[in-house]
Structure 1
Amino acid sequence: MQDTLTHRQLKSLVHVSTVINSSLEIETIFDLIIGEAISAVDAAGGGSIWVFDQQKQRLMAKSAHGLFYPQIFKSIELSNGESMTGMTFQAKKGLVFKNEEEIKQALDTLTPGNRTLLDESIPGNFHFTSIISSPILLKGTCIGVITLDSFDKSLNFKKEDMQLLEAIAQQAAIALEKSNIYYEEKKTVQQLSRSIETQRNIANLVVNGEGIQSIIDYIYETIGEHIFLFDEIGELTASACRTPVTEEMKSEAQRFAKQNEQSPGSPYSVSEITLGRENYQFIALSLQSKMKTLGTLIIVSKDPIGQAEINALEHICTVIMLELVKVQTVSETQQRLQSEFMIKILSGQAMDETLRKQAKNLQFDLNRNYIAVSVNVENKDKLQHGAISENVINNMLQMTNKYFLGKNSQDAALIDHNKLGALFSYPAKLQATNQVGDIKRLALHLQQEIEKTYSELDITIGIGRMKSNLAAAHESFNEAEKCITFMKSYHFEERALSYTDLGIQRFILQNSEEELLDFVHEVIGSLIQYEQTRKGDLLQTLLTYFRQNQNIKRTAVALHVHTNTLNYRLKRIEEILSADLTDGQQLFNIQLAGNIYRYIKR
């Protein structure tokens, strides 16, 4: 093309090329391109340069010179094929609009909004007389358009003017590509610099022992988005937000964190989530060490977060993981020392001087009251033999400390691979009144939380009685263990049981099954045999009678029978047992045998 240009035009093109390549700043380049293009073409009284915005799918005016009000003009956004500029973009070749009629037809394609902006940007006494427009092509793709306008009927665009404009457009494409490369490199350097500075500042927080919450606060101050940190069991441990967030957002963040933990391998995941009428981007970054998952960092933003920012956050997560490992190491060391001490205490080891020193170092008060608890863990599927995994047990240890013990405990300890032990501590002068009931409610809550997370596990919790000092705590633990034994061996629907609840059932635990069966058959064996041969309702009537405290009316209601029928049945029971239900001693034996029969598994 340059061979067809005149000497003057070639000279102008060299000058234009030199000028527009003198800067790498994109806004400056836009102004230089259109300014030099207007200067190089005699007929041009004004002009504009347009760049296609991929996100908006519109041509955006980047610079406008001549007889325009530039700020108004630059508000115009053209679609493909709209006006002279849009037509050139669509055709991907230079177009000439030789007169006002052709220009009018092209302008008629403008949307009403764009036409209004155009009219407001050009004074009323000026009119387009002719226009030339050239696409800016980069590697075969149209990335923008240069348009030159004439407002003087005596000045017409020539064929060589279009050739010069197309040559300028080629130079513009090269200049824009160089500027974009420079801009991206500059942006990368700036982001890297910010990332390094951020990591340095966070590292300083770690060195100064500021803790996880301070790190989360700093990240929030840096990026200005909602941040949530969840631990390895999906519990919120730290957060920083612009405004108080809804429970729905917290729940969604927690769900997303757990979902991310179940999809190992990817360092992060992104999801678009709608809450109420607002759209958010959720980003989950795994805090994954070589050994195990330490948690998940969740970023919630209304605006999309770029890849560079995500990369920076990944580097920050490395620092967070180091802090978590440090905190976890300290916690595990403390937990190990407490566990070793508690195992000695709960096993009944004598309170010698060494044990007293350990108690003092671990802040156990020898003279406080203590209630021991045993948490038994088994697979619901009895075919799955073997111990529960160490990771699951450690998670349950954390859950026990969080949901069960809280601020009122000394600690929980791993007794063996399927059992946890815990101690509740109370002031020495406190009498055992409602404490066991409170512990039982907490125990049931713990059982529900564990089985919610690990549905394949069966949790039973035994609670001992209050003991007056630490040396006697093992007695309370033994009682808790007996509760576990009772629940595992006999029909008992509740999953948490205190030793006080057992009452007369303690008699069952103190005898072998053979002795218990002998007693049952000796006292009520004839009635059991009668029921087995005749399939009657007498045994059930007797057990219900005892549960209703020998109250005739309440028993009749519970059995849905008339009182006369009930009296007949009781008389028949006395005949079969050769017993008198009004005799206190006989009644006690029959009632005890009935209770044993209810619980023992046969």
Structure 2
Amino acid sequence: MEEKLQELINISQNLTNMVNHNATYQHLLDTSADILDAAIIFLDSHFKVHYASSQILSRRELMTEYLRKDADIDYLNLTDTVKINFNQSEIHIFPIFSPFNENKAFVGIIPHQKQLNAFDILKRQQVLNALGLVNARTDLFNETAFRNQSDFFLNVVQGNLTEKAINQYLTATQIDPKTTYTVAILNFQQKAFDPNDHLFDKRQQVIRWFIEEYHYPVLLFAYQRQFILLIQSQRVSIHEFLHRLYQFMAKQGHTLTTGFSKNALPIKELADMYNQANDALQVTSPSHPIMQFHPKNAKELLQLLPSSESDKFIKNTLGPILEDEELLKTLSTYILSKQNISEVAHLLYVHRNTINYRLKSISKLLQVDITMPDVLADIRLALLLKQ
């Protein structure tokens, strides 16, 4: 009995040291396989065999194919130990839980002996505990990376980053700055915000699981208690993806509405696309839970232009007078009054001669003839964009 107890202590110390010294999964699995006299696999939340002890390492892909497609297991909702027959062997699958069920992992053990005594079960539990600690560390690393990426996208939406800074970050994270995305906002029906309610985090994990499970080219972050999706619309049908996500979330008990942008633009234009998606979200309803942004007037139509292009056009057209409120007001009133000098003077409470003087100054500064129809059209458009 003392020998068994000492062996358990030695196993515990050995596994603890490996965890504390950041041993690789491969090293930990091989050591665990020796302890249990069994082959061991480590699966992620999608039932993909990421790691395997050396004796079955070459069969990882084959086992993944079987477990995901042929074993008929609802691994998203799997919470109990199951036994699966595979090539005349029996795999015992043990869930390793994380704070969120959707982010759990699994350990598969293929024992050489069918009957385990109490000592074998204790050793197995020590192995599962060690693998659980390593998985928790991996979860923490992945969650930190996700939050850092979310912080980046928040700064882009809020206009806190230059184009150069945006491109540098994207390049460093292996995202092509030229890739275009459609933006969708997911909104869930929920009660007033409760800081102790983890439903928001749970939904986030479910959405991430769905995206990863079906390999969708979609980026996700959270903003103002909403979920924002950046979808590579050139690689996936927006409507098909959003409807599949809607149906999937409904099956998990989460009702949502979605608004998405009309444009697909690079990430540097994220703020414009977010505004489009948010406008579309406002007109969703239980009968129409997924809506695309459609401009209702000329101003909203102009919002489809990337802000960088709008700013460039405004600067090229009005640049020399952009900082002169008096001249801008005069020019705007001149346009709205259909070039009626007397009407402009009346509206601005100044003499006609003053208006004529200002208009000449504007023409000189802009180096154009503001009586020409094509010039007036450009000015009218620039003023509308500026609003």
- State the TM-score bracket (shorter-chain normalisation): 0.5 to 0.7
- Matched with 1:507 is 296
* Aligned equivalents of 1:482, 1:507: Cα separation in 2: 11
Q: Does the aligned pair in 2 maintain the 1:286–1:293 contact within 8 Å?
A: no
Letter in 1 for 2:271: H
Please report how far the alpha carbon of residue 338 of structure 1 lies from its aligned counterpart in structure 2 after TM superposition.
1.3
- Matched with 1:306 is 117
- Structure 1 residues 254, 354: CA separation in 2 closer, same or farther (over 3 Å shift)? closer
- Matched with 1:462 is 259
Picking from 173, 180, 185, the partner of 1:374 is 185
Picking from 196, 199, 208, the partner of 2:15 is 199
Letter in 1 for 2:153: M
- Structure 1 residues 215, 469: CA separation in 2 closer, same or farther (over 3 Å shift)? same
- Structure 1 residues 376, 235: CA separation in 2 closer, same or farther (over 3 Å shift)? farther
- Matched with 1:531 is none
* Aligned equivalents of 1:284, 1:450: Cα separation in 2: 26
Picking from 207, 215, 223, the partner of 1:415 is 223
- Matched with 1:447 is 246
* Aligned equivalents of 1:296, 1:373: Cα separation in 2: 32
Deviations 1:364-418 (A, max 9, x none): 5444433222222225xxxx44466243134135225414664x34x3111122x
- Matched with 1:392 is 202
- Structure 1 residues 447, 221: CA separation in 2 closer, same or farther (over 3 Å shift)? farther
Letter in 1 for 2:245: L
Picking from 32, 50, 53, the partner of 1:238 is 50
Please report how far the alpha carbon of residue 468 of structure 1 lies from its aligned counterpart in structure 2 after TM superposition.
4.4
Picking from 260, 282, 293, the partner of 1:485 is 282
Deviations 1:254-285 (A, max 9, x none): 38x7233xxxxxxxx6x7x6869989584636
Deviations 1:424-460 (A, max 9, x none): 45xxxxxxxx7286233233333333333x31x1123
Q: Does the aligned pair in 2 maintain the 1:294–1:321 contact within 8 Å?
A: no
Which structure exhibits the higher relative contact order, with contacts defined as CA atoms closer than 8 Å and separated by 6 or more residues? 2
* Aligned equivalents of 2:228, 2:98: Cα separation in 1: 30
- Structure 1 residues 343, 196: CA separation in 2 closer, same or farther (over 3 Å shift)? closer
Q: Does the aligned pair in 2 maintain the 1:285–1:296 contact within 8 Å?
A: yes
Structure number, greater radius of gyration: 1
User: Secondary structure in 2 aligned to 1:324?
Assistant: helix
User: Secondary structure in 2 aligned to 1:507?
Assistant: coil
- Structure 1 residues 401, 274: CA separation in 2 closer, same or farther (over 3 Å shift)? closer
User: Secondary structure in 2 aligned to 1:303?
Assistant: coil
Letter in 2 for 1:334: A
Q: Does the aligned pair in 1 maintain the 2:95–2:104 contact within 8 Å?
A: no
- Structure 1 residues 258, 477: CA separation in 2 closer, same or farther (over 3 Å shift)? same
Picking from 258, 283, 290, the partner of 2:78 is 258
* Aligned equivalents of 1:228, 1:297: Cα separation in 2: 5
Q: Does the aligned pair in 2 maintain the 1:339–1:413 contact within 8 Å?
A: yes
Please report how far the alpha carbon of residue 420 of structure 1 lies from its aligned counterpart in structure 2 after TM superposition.
1.0
* Aligned equivalents of 1:219, 1:282: Cα separation in 2: 15
User: Secondary structure in 2 aligned to 1:435?
Assistant: coil
- Matched with 1:473 is 270
* Aligned equivalents of 1:405, 1:374: Cα separation in 2: 19
| Aligned residue runs from structure 1 range 325-340, under 5 A | 325-340=136-151
* Aligned equivalents of 2:261, 2:95: Cα separation in 1: 44
Q: Does the aligned pair in 1 maintain the 2:84–2:93 contact within 8 Å?
A: no
* Aligned equivalents of 2:84, 2:181: Cα separation in 1: 50
Please report how far the alpha carbon of residue 336 of structure 1 lies from its aligned counterpart in structure 2 after TM superposition.
1.7
Q: Does the aligned pair in 2 maintain the 1:216–1:238 contact within 8 Å?
A: no
User: Secondary structure in 1 aligned to 2:115?
Assistant: coil
Is structure 2 residue 107 aligned with structure 1 residue 297? Answer: yes
- Matched with 1:92 is none
- Structure 1 residues 328, 369: CA separation in 2 closer, same or farther (over 3 Å shift)? same
What's the Cα RMSD here? 4.5
User: Secondary structure in 1 aligned to 2:282?
Assistant: helix
- Structure 1 residues 188, 236: CA separation in 2 closer, same or farther (over 3 Å shift)? same
- Matched with 1:324 is 135
* Aligned equivalents of 2:167, 2:204: Cα separation in 1: 27
User: Secondary structure in 2 aligned to 1:487?
Assistant: coil
- Structure 1 residues 370, 213: CA separation in 2 closer, same or farther (over 3 Å shift)? farther
- Matched with 2:94 is 284
State the aligned residue count. Answer: 285
- Structure 1 residues 185, 293: CA separation in 2 closer, same or farther (over 3 Å shift)? farther
* Aligned equivalents of 2:103, 2:155: Cα separation in 1: 31
Letter in 1 for 2:205: N
* Aligned equivalents of 2:90, 2:179: Cα separation in 1: 52
| Aligned residue runs from structure 1 range 110-149, under 5 A | none
Please report how far the alpha carbon of residue 342 of structure 1 lies from its aligned counterpart in structure 2 after TM superposition.
0.8
**Structure 1: tracts of 5 or more residues without a match:** 1-183, 261-268, 426-433, 512-602
Q: TM-score, normalised by structure 2?
A: 0.56
User: Secondary structure in 2 aligned to 1:305?
Assistant: coil
User: Secondary structure in 2 aligned to 1:448?
Assistant: helix
- Structure 1 residues 277, 214: CA separation in 2 closer, same or farther (over 3 Å shift)? closer
* Aligned equivalents of 1:460, 1:438: Cα separation in 2: 18
- Matched with 1:219 is 32
User: Secondary structure in 1 aligned to 2:284?
Assistant: helix
Q: Does the aligned pair in 2 maintain the 1:404–1:445 contact within 8 Å?
A: no
